[in-house]
Structure 1
Amino acid sequence: MDKLVIQLLNESRERIYTRWMDEMERVRDEHRLQSITDRAYEETNQELFEIIYTHIEQNVHKPTDRMTEFAEHLMKIGWRLSYITQGLQNFRRIILAIILDANQSNEKVFAMYDEIDRWIDPIVNQLINESAKNWENTVSIQKVALQELSAPLIPVFENISVMPLIGTIDTERAKLIMENLLTGVIKHRSQVVLIDITGVPVVDTMVAHHIIQAAEAVRLVGAQCILVGIRPEIAQTIVNLGIDLGQFPTKSTLFKGMKSALELTKRQMIELE
């Protein structure tokens, strides 16, 4: 950064700090930070101000590790990145006012303000880009985790596994169900698989088609599928739609399905006195 700009900013540091803190107090309401104590908010603003001035002194045109860590920490505890970017924008406006107050020539004013722009804009842009990358990475990780949890095949007895389904089944999830079923049947050496649709709110033609496909795929790898969790309203819907589920057994509850699965594997439930 131009030495004249740095000199002017250092000479006006206290004035800039006072005006900047006043501006940042107004930012508090916009970013819903009323729950933050006055002391904590003031200390955070002081730290950000010091980071900005460190950038000035070092003539850095991108976020330093200190600013990046500061931004990541605030976002982890619920602050918005726009708090920092707006702080930089406020700093820009105050600097312009200070430069104008210095009675510099128009040519110098424009040159100095252009210098400030070329210093602040790359910092703002990189902070936003880094935040976007972190957000995309977080969403990607969460998506994978949800997919892994959305269609688990759980071995409950030797040769018997259960796949509980909860929520809406779309084409993408149906594909995941098929993959987990086939992989799990082979991995757990399942002879019987119970698909529990108790938590599926709606069973329409498309959902039924996906379930039938999954059951057929399980049969082709040498296991049998039992569909459980057929509630009365689901049964009525299946009948009204003319969906044929006669290719594999169906049971109203997981308990009844488990009893059938045990019988298919030559075992039975026995009540103990």
Structure 2
Amino acid sequence: MDEKFKRIAIDNSDTIVAMWLEEINTLKETNYAATMSDELFESTNREFVNVIFTSIKNQGDTQALKDFSEKIINLGWQLSYITDGLQMFTRVTIDYILRQSNQVDSSYISEVLKSVDEWVEPIIRQLVNDYSGSWEHIVSLQRVALQELSAPLIPVVEGITVMPLVGTIDTERAKLIMENLLEGVIKHNSEVVLIDITGVPVVDTMVAHHIIQAAEAVRLVGATCILVGIRPEIAQTIVNLGIDLEKFPTKSSLKKGFTSALEITNRKIVNLEEKNEAIEKFIGSIHGE
């Protein structure tokens, strides 16, 4: 920005800030700000405009811009908040500078427009780049976290593990399920694996195919796979689609599947009270002899 215009903006920053705050308050009803409290919206706007003036005073210092873009992401506000705010700031600043001069010729107006644009444009570019970079980083971290949670294999008791599945199963997730199953079966020395699809909303041909592949892979490494969580609507869908699930056991609930897993591993659930009564009777019979 031309130094004379820069000096006008800095010397009259309080007035420009007040004008800008009045303008940007019109954004309060937008999606990214409607749910925010008035206090948070106002404090964030003041921080925003302070960042703008800090950038003009300390050209080349981008840390304040980066910190502010990260804050906007954490608040869940859209990128349009930044672009709208800077456009309003440009408009307000140009309007104020023009009103401070008696010159109205086109060359002076063109000079003001060019100078303010040369000041604001790098700020827009820096904020957009920082916002995009921070957003991509957060999305990447979330994707990794979701992958870690999307197909967990949980050891329940010795030789029995459970894989609860929740949400839609696509090709990428099916590959992750397969990998986790095989690694987990070997790691935990599992004899039986329960795949719980209670939380899977839709079981179509593709999903069933992936599950069958996973079950076959488990069988090849020496373990048994039991599919649990077969709801009535899913059972009907499987029948209508002609999907063959006869190669491995299926149960309607995790409880029934776990009971089957115990039987496969030569164990069963025993009622302690009944067991104690049986022991007492046995001891009594011995004493009676």
TM-score range, shorter chain: 0.7 to 0.9
2:171 matched residue in structure 1:
171
2:102 matched residue in structure 1:
103
Q: Distance in 2 between matches of 1:47 and 1:234?
A: 53
Question: 1:259 aligns to what SS in structure 2?
Answer: helix
Q: Distance in 2 between matches of 1:6 and 1:13?
A: 10
Shift of 1:184: 0.7
Moved more, 211-220 or 164-173: 164-173
Shift of 1:110: 1.8
CA contact 1:63–1:123 (8 Å) conserved in 2: no
Runs (5+) with no aligned partner, structure 2? 274-289
Determine whether 1:138 maps to 2:138: yes
CA contact 2:193–2:224 (8 Å) conserved in 1: yes
2:90 matched residue in structure 1:
92
TM-score with structure 2 setting the length: 0.81
Q: Distance in 2 between matches of 1:260 and 1:130?
A: 55
Shift of 1:42: 4.7
Shift of 1:258: 1.6
1:70 matched residue in structure 2:
68
Change (3 A) 1:17 1:260: closer
2:283 matched residue in structure 1:
none
Moved more, 175-184 or 143-152: 143-152
Shift of 1:214: 0.8
Determine whether 1:52 maps to 2:52: yes
Q: Deviations over 1:83-119 (max 9, x none)?
A: 3433322221122223333134533432332122111
CA contact 2:194–2:257 (8 Å) conserved in 1: yes
Q: Deviations over 1:135-171 (max 9, x none)?
A: 2222222222222222211110111111122233222
Q: Distance in 1 between matches of 2:240 and 2:265?
A: 34
Q: Distance in 2 between matches of 1:254 and 1:192?
A: 13
Question: 1:269 aligns to what SS in structure 2?
Answer: coil
2:188 matched residue in structure 1:
188
TM-score with structure 1 setting the length: 0.86
Q: Distance in 2 between matches of 1:153 and 1:43?
A: 46
CA contact 2:19–2:92 (8 Å) conserved in 1: yes
Question: 2:234 aligns to what SS in structure 1?
Answer: helix
Q: Deviations over 1:189-224 (max 9, x none)?
A: 111111122223333322222111111101111111
Question: 1:190 aligns to what SS in structure 2?
Answer: coil
Determine whether 1:204 maps to 2:204: yes
Q: Distance in 1 between matches of 2:167 and 2:43?
A: 46
CA contact 1:63–1:126 (8 Å) conserved in 2: no
Change (3 A) 1:65 1:214: same
2:219 matched residue in structure 1:
219
Q: Distance in 2 between matches of 1:34 and 1:142?
A: 24
Q: Give the letter for the 1:110 counterpart.
A: S
Question: 2:164 aligns to what SS in structure 1?
Answer: strand
Change (3 A) 1:47 1:177: closer
Q: Give the letter for the 2:84 counterpart.
A: Q
Moved more, 240-249 or 216-225: 240-249
Q: Distance in 2 between matches of 1:70 and 1:117?
A: 21
Q: Deviations over 1:239-265 (max 9, x none)?
A: 333322221222232222222222222
Q: Distance in 2 between matches of 1:262 and 1:24?
A: 65
Question: 1:165 aligns to what SS in structure 2?
Answer: strand
CA contact 1:63–1:127 (8 Å) conserved in 2: no
1:263 matched residue in structure 2:
263
Moved more, 78-87 or 181-190: 78-87
Change (3 A) 1:90 1:178: same
Runs (5+) with no aligned partner, structure 1? none
1:122 matched residue in structure 2:
122
1:32 matched residue in structure 2:
33
Percent identical: 57
CA contact 2:33–2:41 (8 Å) conserved in 1: no
Shift of 1:11: 4.9
